[in-house]
Amino acid sequence: MNNLNLKQAKEALKNKKISSYELTKLCLETIEKTDKKLNAFVTVTNELALKSAKNADNSIKNGVELPLLGIPIAIKDNFSAKNVRTTASSKVLDDYISPFDSTVVKKLKDAGAVILGKTNMDAWAHGSSTETSDYGPTRNPWNTNYLPGGSSGGSAASVAANQCIAAIGSETAGSIRQPASWCGVVGLKPTYGRVSRYGVVAMGSSLDSPGPITKTVEDSAQILNVLAGVDEMDATTSPLPVRNYTHELNKSIQGLKIGISDEYFIKGIDKEVEEKVKQAIKKLELLGAKIEKIKLFDPKYAIDVYTIIQRSEVSSNLARYDGIRFGNDRSSFAEEAKRRIMFGTYALSSGYYDQYYNKAQQVRTLIIEDFNKAFKKVDVIIAPTSPSLALPVGATKGESMFGELADVLVEPSSIAGLAGINIPVGFAKNDLPVGMQIIGPQFSESLVLNVANQYEINTQDEKWRNLTPSL
């Protein structure tokens, strides 16, 4: 029953088909059985999980109703959870035990969730492969010779492999959507500031956005309902009211205007990715949506903007790791972190600020204005999430900008702080999943989830939906 999605698991718990303790145990057993192959977890918190599952069962017995009561969830290892090791997959934090809960973890606990443990990621979230983890790469459940994407690769692989009911990831530019794409699951990157960053190991502070990785779109909406909202611990969270994100899931998309941009079907894109995404767009057209060609700012410049802004913010954020208050000293940084710190330090160093950081922030303005213009004409924009299928283990070796280059199609919307979601749209001939992204304006999560859900529920009968990874 660990292959249940969130909605089904909630029903099974409610109808006493299974207890939270049994469900949690099933997840832990699946982790035990499959994680030698996958390496999706850095830390599994067996005892804590079983204890909170027992508490959840008591609450259920006493008629308590909470949105995630008794649901086993996996958390990316850059979210602080009180009294649990938080490494961000870096040896710098190898023995760091967080003395407080991140807001996301606190909200999950308050909603009754059972936390299974902490999932593997690119160290410090620096990458799109989970291959730069200091604890070894995570492998793709659909084919363990392939990478899961990243940086939330452990969370995406864990959901795909049914080690958990749902998982939490974080995205700076692509780190939720791209691994969700490579692992064939749903990954929502909310608008910047919709979900609190408090207690998340910081990467690019002007970009970082926590969000859910789930088996279905409805599950994603359910978890966003728990996570979204203003937080006094993170001044960049938005005071705009939170919607009920499940309310509009079933709205018709008749007349919805979908923008398609040739710039996003870039040169060198995998032919099968292109074909499946175009088929999915056709499907939405059959459901009543209107497809409109639009011209968007060339995403190639987003690579430059993102590289400069992110690495600059990385160099600033990682300055705190000096081994004095917590963690090991700076000699424990691995190569990718050092490379990014070095570039960021250079870009911010005296005399270069205008040339790099300021220039990038100016082009960022142009990218934002370009999207604003586009959203006057269309409601959402649809594109492939990743230009490629999952790549084989080892693909990042010797590539000094692998992450930034792999995420070309998700970087523009991240730079502009927009809402976006990856949904699976089928499989390629080599049995690896293909993902498509739906991008909407800031704070349009309801709309983006609505479009994603309409695709999902209207393709339920397609044969590929029955596939599960064999591990």
Partner 1 sequence: MKINVPHVAKLANLTLSDQELKKFESQLQETVDYVEELNEVDTKGVESTSQVTGLENVLREDIAKPSLSQEEALSNAKDTYNGFFKVDAILEDE
| Token digits of residue 38 | 């996958």
Q: Which pairs count as long-range contacts for 366-370, CB under 8 Å and 24+ apart, including other chains?
A: 366/297, 367/297, 367/301, 367/302, 367/305, 367/412, 367/415, 367/416, 368/415, 368/416, 368/417, 370/296, 370/297
Q: What are the φ/ψ torsions at residue 269 (nearest 5 degrees)?
A: -65, 145
CA Rg, the chain, in Å? 21
State in angstroms the smallest separation of the CB of 99 from partner 1.
4
Catalytic residue among 175, 196, 220, 446: 175
The interface region with partner 1, picked from 6-14, 19-27, 102-110, 360-368 by CB under 8 A, is: 360-368
CA-CA distances (angstroms) from residue 19 to 6, 26, 64, 67, 72?
14, 11, 14, 16, 11
Q: Where are the alpha helices (DSSP H) in 62-183?
A: 103-110, 153-160, 177-183
| Token digits of residue 434 | 């293909």
Q: Is 16 labeled as catalytic in the residue annotation? A: no
Q: What are the φ/ψ torsions at residue 72 (nearest 5 degrees)?
A: -75, 125
Report how far apart the first and last C-alpha atoms of the chain are (Å, whole number). 16
**Considering beta carbons, is residue 278 or 359 the nearer one to partner 1?**
359
| Token digits of residue 206 | 């002007």
- Number of other residues whose CB lies within 10 A of the CB of residue 391: 20
| Site membership for partner 1, residue 295 (CB under 8 A) | no
Per-residue x/- marks for partner 1, 394-413, CB under 8 A? ------xx------------
**Considering beta carbons, is residue 291 or 348 the nearer one to partner 1?**
348
In what order do the strands lie in the sheet containing 114-119?
41-44, 114-119, 72-76, 166-171, 209-214, 186-189, 419-427, 433-440, 380-384, 257-261, 290-294
Site for partner 1 (CB under 8 A): which residue of 58, 250, 365, 430? 365
State in angstroms the smallest separation of the CB of 102 from partner 1.
14
Per-residue x/- marks for partner 1, 7-46, CB under 8 A? ----------------------------------------
Site for partner 1 (CB under 8 A): which residue of 368, 395, 428, 467? 368
Count of positions on this chain that bind partner 1 (CB under 8 A): 58
Q: Where are the alpha helices (DSSP H) in 90-194?
A: 103-110, 153-160, 177-183
CA-CA distances (angstroms) from residue 385 to 273, 333, 382, 433?
9, 30, 9, 11
Catalytic residue among 10, 25, 76, 189: 76
Site for partner 1 (CB under 8 A): which residue of 153, 154, 174, 193? 193
Residues 61-100 contacting partner 1, CB under 8 A: 95-97, 99-100
Site for partner 1 (CB under 8 A): which residue of 206, 332, 458, 459? 206
Contact 279, 337 (CB under 8 A): no
Measured distance CA(209)–CA(442) in Å, rounded: 12
**Considering beta carbons, is residue 96 or 264 the nearer one to partner 1?**
96
Task: Count the residues in the chain.
Answer: 471
Measured distance CA(432)–CA(158) in Å, rounded: 16
Site for partner 1 (CB under 8 A): which residue of 14, 29, 235, 373? 235
Site for partner 1 (CB under 8 A): which residue of 274, 304, 370, 431? 304
Residues 407-466 contacting partner 1, CB under 8 A: 415-417, 442
Q: Is 76 labeled as catalytic in the residue annotation? A: yes
| Site membership for partner 1, residue 3 (CB under 8 A) | no
| Token digits of residue 366 | 């142009």
| Site membership for partner 1, residue 229 (CB under 8 A) | no
**Considering beta carbons, is residue 34 or 237 the nearer one to partner 1?**
237
Site for partner 1 (CB under 8 A): which residue of 362, 372, 430, 468? 362
Catalytic residue among 128, 151, 220, 413: 151
Q: Is 276 labeled as catalytic in the residue annotation? A: no
The phi-psi region of residue 289 (left if phi > 0; otherwise alpha if psi is between -120 and 50; otherwise beta) is beta
In sign, the C-alpha dihedral spanning 45, 51, 53, 59 is negative
Per-residue x/- marks for partner 1, 264-283, CB under 8 A? --------------------
Measured distance CA(166)–CA(158) in Å, rounded: 8
Per-residue x/- marks for partner 1, 321-340, CB under 8 A? -xxxxxxx-xx-x-x--xx-
State in angstroms the smallest separation of the CB of 1 from partner 1.
38
Measured distance CA(386)–CA(393) in Å, rounded: 17
**Considering beta carbons, is residue 167 or 202 the nearer one to partner 1?**
202
| Site membership for partner 1, residue 372 (CB under 8 A) | no
State in angstroms the smallest separation of the CB of 255 from partner 1.
28
Q: Where are the alpha helices (DSSP H) in 253-323?
A: 271-286, 300-317
Residues 116-145 contacting partner 1, CB under 8 A: none
**Considering beta carbons, is residue 139 or 340 the nearer one to partner 1?**
340
The interface region with partner 1, picked from 64-72, 231-239, 249-257, 373-381 by CB under 8 A, is: 231-239
Residues of this chain that bind partner 1 (CB under 8 A): 95-97, 99-100, 191-193, 206, 232, 235-236, 238, 300-301, 303-305, 307-308, 315, 319, 322-328, 330-331, 333, 335, 338-339, 341-343, 345-346, 349, 356, 358-366, 368, 400-401, 415-417, 442
What positions carry a catalytic annotation? 76, 151, 175
